[in-house]
Chain A
Amino acid sequence: MLNPIQVLCSDITSLSLEPEPFASYTEADIISTVEFNHTGELLATGDKGGRVVIFQREPECKTEPFSQGEYNVYSTFQSHEPEFDYLKSLEIEEKINKIRWLPQQNAAHFLLSTNDKTIKLWKVSERDKRPEGYNLKDEEGRMKDLSTVTSLQVPVLKPMDLMVEVSPRRVFANAHTYHVNSISVNSDHETYMSADDLRINLWHLGITDRSFNIVDIKPVNMEDLTEVITAAEFHPHHCNLFVYSSSKGTLRLCDMRESALCDKHSKLFEEPEDPSNRSFFSEIISSVSDVKFSHSGRYLLTRDYLTAKVWDLNMENKPLEIYQVHDYLRSKLCSLYENDCIFDKFECAWNGSDSVIMTGAYNNFFRMFDRNTKRDVTLEASRESSKPRAVLKPRRVCQGGKRRKDDISVDSLDFTKKILHTAWHPTENIIAIAATNNLYIFQDKLNQEMHG
């Protein structure tokens, strides 16, 4: 039985790439979120310009049983527009912060997309038939001359070219004073939550003019503010449980059955600080940038600046596992503080079987850690290394000491090329990596199913 990460290392092939080489891109093209839907058939990306692009996986070709379906553009639409807050004289960016799919309940697909202030529910549906044979209108839609109508006919549905229609079904606005950083659909498929820097609101998908505030950490005096909410997510199975992370590196598991306002947590997950490693940057690098429940609901995956941590819900005093993503940056924190890179928010992802975790880094590198074998790999998402059907080669960052061929030294890392957003197919070994304005989709060619 092949080890999943071993297979991924050796056989990852890249299937689709975004714009042509050397095409210059605008800032609006920078991808700001990536999300597979619950079956993995659809992949949505949001960008800084407020657009959403949905990719659909082509059905596998029956003649070639081992060829995987490729992802092609399915639909593109403008989700959010820039706005102006007249009260504060500030612009509201149209950048899509998060996209979350609703579980599919009928032929149409629904997704939630949010910018800093407003969440929208979009319906994505297909139309591949159209009625023909109207009595009063002709084929172009013009009214017929009534004298020519001599008989009555029933319009019939005829096939047409597939058209994907996207329409906004709900707009959830005016509920957030601060910037929305997370949205999460509840397992009850009726409610969802949206979290900003200081508050978390609970919505019903059908009701737009009301939301319940379930967490509020805003101090009475804003001068006393020392901690903000950085991410939040519902438990995948228990609709009363959710977790939120903070800029001080803590995780709070809350139970909505306990009280209406969940300021008091049920569980607090915090790793005690290592006094020997303390510096002025300790707090900043402990700030959790992303939190994800495992598919099983038993574990939490968190990402802070230098590490990724797996927590067991049953153990609050320390994480179960700690993975060093790029510890070679520890000695460079001051420079990274100066150029603001230390505030970069990296996301993290589980694979379908919760055995491998993945997160991005700099220089267009991303890392995968196998929790069982403790092996890890660094891969690069770049045009040069990702020609279609090419196999990805593991990369290595050297910090002095022995330097192998093709190693990159820490000082030559490109900090403008950061992989903040990554997503893993819910069941298969397919990953989507957003590198600035490019989307890379990598597949495990030989081994489709999850192991371990």
Chain B
Amino acid sequence: MFPKGTKRKFSDSGDEPPAGSDDVNQPSSAAVRMLSSYSLQRQSLLDMSLIKLQLCHMLVEPNLCRSVLIANTVRQIQEEMTQDGTWQIMTQALSAANAAAQCSADRLVATEVLCRQTEAAQGEPAPKPFPAVGSEGCSAEEVVVVEEEDEGVEGGVIMSTVSPQAPTAYLPSTFGIDPCWEEETGEEEDEDEDSEECASGSEEGDNDRLVEDSRTAEQVFGTFEIKNPAPSPDPALEELFSDVDASYYDLDTVLTGMQSAPKMGPYDLLESLSSHGPSPLSSSTSCRSDLNELDHIMEIIVGS
């Protein structure tokens, strides 16, 4: 069933039947268009949900009910996407894109609005804005606070709400960097430099919504509690959660991808979504986490 009421931008592009097309081809192309329209709408819903769950510097504790409902919606979409194979396509596209050079331009969602500050600081090109989501993602509404450290920093809970380092360390240009964190950009830059040294692969800049998503449940709800250390990251999951390539939106890619066999089983994905939600990053995190930990502790002591 199509979620109605979505913006028509996506449907519009796919809706015009080619003039003078075959009768034979027409029904199937219409069906294909419908399918792709549905999956585009579903994708935009997923992106919208992930933005809503994004963490930005905020003063008031987020609404847990809202966060739970959004997280459940995200889970539902991802389960469906796993079932029809779309999820595997995305991850394949990601790994392909990772091999290529700059994927930063191909991020999903209106990251431009969200990351303007950070990106300017880091000198990365601004990503294309995602029209369906627009600039509403980071409005004054309540947004869930990121829980920063999965690796079990005691002060993780506290720090996640105050320190902007968390999102940038993991997601340097995609998430929840509210303009009010501008003054701490310098710190973020240092953080990234350090992490770059530690980073083994190209993953440093590649964390994205999917990563965020797998950790979403934990981050969203973890803020409210002081947590135990998470288990060590699984390299397989890391591969799974590399960048999403915007070329996914290209109809051809989607259609082609649908016919190829999925590389990864569904269980990896579901597993990561459901329970542990460990950090998908590899050894790079351990370097960064130590530094983060130290900084956080210093912040507590200093009382900033």
**Real binding pair:** yes
Residues of A at the B interface (CB closer than 8 Å) are 85, 87-93, 116, 177-179, 197-198, 221-228, 230, 247, 277-281, 283-284, 287, 331-340, 343
Stretch of B3-11, B24-32, B111-119, B172-180 that contacts chain A: B3-11
Q: In the complex where A178-B224, A333-B5, A338-B48 touch, is A89 in contact with B158 (Cβ < 8 A)?
A: yes
Can you list the 3 inter-chain pairs with the closest CB atoms, starting with the nearest? A222-B221, A334-B5, A223-B217
> Contact residue range for chain B?
35 or more
- Bits for B237-251, please: 1 = Cβ < 8 Å to A, else 0: 000000000000000
Q: Are A343 and B42 in contact (CB under 8 A)?
A: no
Are A90 and B61 closer than 8 Å at their CB atoms?
yes
If the complex has contacts A88-B61, A228-B68, A230-B65, are A334 and B277 also in contact, measured as CB distance less than 8 A?
A: no
Q: How many angstroms from the CA of A55 to the CA of B277 in the assembled complex?
A: 52
Docked Cα-Cα span, A283 to B225, in Å, equals 25
- Contact across chains for A331 and B1 when beta carbons are under 8 A apart: no
| Contact of A280 with B42 in the complex, beta carbons under 8 Å | yes
Question: Which of B71, B158, B276 is in CB contact (< 8 Å) with A88?
Answer: B158
Residues of B within 8 A of A (CB): 1, 3-6, 41-42, 45, 48, 52, 59-61, 63-66, 68-69, 71-73, 76-77, 136, 141, 145, 157-158, 161-162, 217-218, 221-225, 227, 274-277
Given contacts A179-B63, A223-B275, contact A278 B6 (CB under 8 A): no
The one of B64, B145, B157, B276 that contacts A178, using a Cβ cutoff of 8 Å: B64
Interfacial chain A residues near B42, Cβ < 8 Å = 280
Q: Which residues of B contact A335 (CB under 8 A)?
A: 5-6
Contact A226 B63 (CB under 8 A): no
Name the B residues within 8 Å of A88 (CB-CB). Answer: 61, 157-158, 161, 223
The residue on A at minimum CB distance from B42 is A280
Pick 15 A–B contacts, CB within 8 A, sort by A: A88-B158, A222-B221, A223-B218, A223-B222, A224-B274, A224-B275, A226-B72, A227-B68, A277-B1, A334-B3, A335-B6, A337-B45, A339-B136, A343-B65, A343-B66
CB <8 Å contact, B65 and A332:
no
List residues of chain A with CB within 8 A of the CB of B64: 178-179, 197-198, 228
> Least Cβ distance of B181 to chain A in Å?
14
Which of B48, B60, B61, B63 has the largest count of A CB atoms less than 10 A from its CB? B61
Contact of A223 (CB < 8 Å), options: B63, B136, B145, B276: B276
Smallest beta-carbon distance A7→chain B, Å: 38
Pairwise interchain contact A179-B66, C-beta atoms closer than 8 A: no
Contact indicator B68/A226 (Cβ below 8 Å): yes
Residue pair A284, B224 in contact (C-beta under 8 Å) = no
Take A223-B277, A279-B1, A335-B5 as given contacts and tell me if A90 and B68 are in contact as well, using a CB distance cutoff of 8 Å. no
Shortest distance from the beta carbon of A175 to any chain B beta carbon, whole Å: 15
Tell me the bound Cα distance from A179 to B68 in angstroms.
14
Q: A88-B161, A222-B217, A227-B68 are in contact. List 18 more A-B contacts (CB 8 A).
A: A85-B61, A90-B59, A92-B61, A116-B61, A177-B225, A197-B65, A198-B64, A222-B218, A223-B218, A247-B65, A280-B42, A281-B3, A283-B72, A284-B69, A332-B5, A334-B4, A334-B41, A337-B48
Which residue of A179, A287, A336 is within 8 Å of B61 (Cβ)? A179
Contact B225 A334 (CB under 8 A): no
B104 to chain A, nearest CB (A): 26
- With the chains together, A87 CA to B154 CA distance in Å? 12
Tell me, in angstroms, the Cα distance from A48 to B88 when the chains sit together.
47
Asked whether, in the complex, the Cβ of A89 is within 8 Å of the Cβ of B5, the reply is no
Closest to A287 in B: B69
> Chain A residues with Cβ under 8 A from B76's Cβ?
280, 283
Q: Are B217 and A283 within 8 A (Cβ)?
A: no
Collect the chain B residues with CB atoms within 8 Å of residue A178's CB: 64, 224
Inside 8 A of B141's CB, which chain A residues have their CB? 340
Are the C-beta atoms of A222 and B48 separated by less than 8 Å? no
Closest residue on chain A to residue B61 by CB atoms: A90
The distance in angstroms between the C-alpha atoms of A278 and B3, with both chains bound, is: 10
CB-CB under 8 A from A339, the residues of chain B are 136
Q: How far is the CA of A88 from the CA of B223 in the complex (A)?
A: 8
CB distance from B84 to the nearest CB of A (A): 14
Chain B CB within 10 A, most for which of A224, A225, A247, A283? A225
Query: B162 near A247 (CB under 8 angstroms)?
Result: no
Within the complex, what minimum Cβ distance (angstroms) separates A397 from chain B? 16
Contact of B224 among A116, A177, A337 (CB under 8 A): A177
Q: How far is the CB of A341 from chain B (nearest CB, A)?
A: 11
CB closest residue in chain A, given B226 = A87
* A332, B59: Cα distance in complex, Å: 31
A residues less than 8 Å from B277 (CB atoms): 223
Chain A residues near B222 (CB-CB < 8 A): 222-223
| CA distance in complex: A277, B1 (Å) | 8
Contacting residues, chain A, for B71 (C-beta < 8 A): 226
| Contact B73 A280, beta carbon cutoff 8 Å | yes
User: A83 CB to closest chain B CB, in angstroms?
Assistant: 11
Cβ-defined contact, B60 with A90, below 8 A: yes
Q: How far is the CB of A231 from chain B (nearest CB, A)?
A: 11
